[in-house]
Amino acid sequence: MGRGSNTGNGCLSLTRFLSCDLPLRAVLHEDNVVFKKILIANRGEIALRIIRACQELGVKTVAVYSDVDAQSLHVRCADERVCIGPADDALSYRNIPNVLSAAAMTGADAIHPGYGFLAENTHFAEVCELSGVTFIGPASEHIALLGNKVKARHTMVQHNIPVIPGSDGEVHTLGQAVQIARNIGYPVMVKAAAGGGGRGMRVVGREEDLGKAILSAQVEARATFHHDGVYLEKYVVDPRHIEIQVLSDAHGHAVHLGERECSVQRRYQKLIEEAPSPVVDKGLRNRMGKMALKVVKAVQYRNAGTVEFLLDHKRNFYFMEVNTRIQVEHPVTEMVTGTDLIKEQIRVAAGLSLSFRQRDIGFTGHSLECRINAECAETFTPSPGMVPHVHIPGGPGIRVDTALESMGNVNPQYDSMIAKLIAHGQDRDEAMARARRALDEFVIEGVKTTIPLHRIILRHPDFQKGRVNTGFLDRLLVSRLP
């Protein structure tokens, strides 16, 4: 099994350890308050990424896993491990009683949720707070406020932060929706109030399609978020998706670490991210950064977060949402700023001050990230299965975040992203050249991946010239249809 030992036989029961007392949050270590042991409530590459940060900080780790992940790399690399349920993530990785029981039985004083699963679950953060175990992320009240897009939008309006024209709150009748859409003009976007990740969103170009779009968005929102409320926004045609990485501590320090360009996406799911954006100059970066910090201060946000904006053709930007967690694409920011965002999350959660200030943050070179998914590059259908051989690319400027290894499995129960290829160069051309070289070197046998599509995108003249927006990939895919 590698390092550490299993803490029990078989998977953890639902209630066995719920009555156990949880330990104190932190201890003295090298003149700083840090955690003794952190449980990672996630799997795959992000779990491994957090484990590595903890190892560098001298903090013990606990991996939780479902029965199909028993031999996974993140499980073998942790100091301790606990099986918390079967493959179904509702019974394992999203199972709050089992995750907290694992923390209690192993003596973990903090939990890092990574991204996905429980990372933006208000109830989970609340239960952690009540149990005395530290949730490495923002307070539950901030997750609740910013996770509800209608409440977040209302808060931004109150603080004079630019938002896209739309409804003042959830729409409750078709007649109300029709009137709002007429006022702001078509096309409009129907959005789930509790949404995220592109779920519960519909673009409507004509009034006669509005009712059907609302019902469709409500059905998806109810199934995904257990809340079917929707609201309306003006649909900005072919904008750029620009996000600002922020960090804030409990001592009044808040910083932004520049922007990430996330416009290459399919159905609101990002495929390639880069920093800095090809179209954001120093002046625009400063304005967007200051606005992101205004968002942070408006709600007294703590820990890492991402403020997302839409940027139109006239370089006007509008608040879209706040992701109250570490992002999949955080490595590109780390590469151009020389920071470790996971370590800063842990420091802030332990009550320490940020290890740098805004004046200390500089930007060096250019970085981009390719999300490698186990999917058919033509149809985007999942491609799970055994991976007999993997060759990870290397060389100057290349970083690969993955938990995939030869003779490993891509499990169909979970998200299809299996690796992130991050390239860094002295400028955008060199970063792209290194990414293309690494993609050609990358070998993943046994399953289909999106590597061929990444090769096409990185060789496309519009991408090479930075002429992308949120409609770029859809147009590219349509042009390649027979």
Closest CA to 272 of 20, 458, 57: 458
Give the sheet arrangement for strand 240-248, strand by strand. 317-323, 303-311, 240-248, 254-266, 269-275, 366-373, 417-425, 398-402
What are the structure tokens assigned to 298, written together?
């408006």
DSSP state of 266: E
At 291 the three-state DSSP class reads: helix
| Set 325, 347, 371, 399: catalytic member | 325
Per-residue CA distances from 343 to 54, 335, 412 (Å): 8, 14, 31
Residues 6+ apart with CB under 8 A from 460: 476
Structure tokens, 41: 């409530």
Furthest C-alpha separation in the chain: 65
Active site residue 325: yes
Q: Is 424 helix (H, G, I), strand (E, B) or coil?
A: strand
**Tokens 């590698």 appear where?**
2
Chain position carrying tokens 């350890």:
17
Alpha-carbon gap, residue 169 to 151, rounded angstroms: 8
Say what the alpha-carbon torsion angle 291, 242, 123, 223 is, to the nearest 10 degrees: 140
Nearest of 76, 130, 120, 68 to residue 100 by alpha carbon: 130
Inter-CA distances, 108 with 21, 103, 105, 194, 260, Å: 11, 5, 8, 31, 34
Q: Which residue type, as a one-letter code, is found at position 401?
A: D
- Report the C-alpha gap between 249 and 49 in whole angstroms: 22
SS3 460: coil
Distance CA 412, CA 416 (A): 8
Q: Which residues pair with 163 in a beta bridge?
A: 319
Q: Are strands 240-248 and 303-311 parallel, antiparallel or unpaired?
A: antiparallel
d(CA 95, CA 335): 34
What are the residues facing 311 on neighbouring strands? 240, 317
Among 363, 335, 119, residue whose Cα is nearest residue 256 = 363
Q: Which residue has the tokens 């968005």?
A: 217
Residues designated catalytic: 325
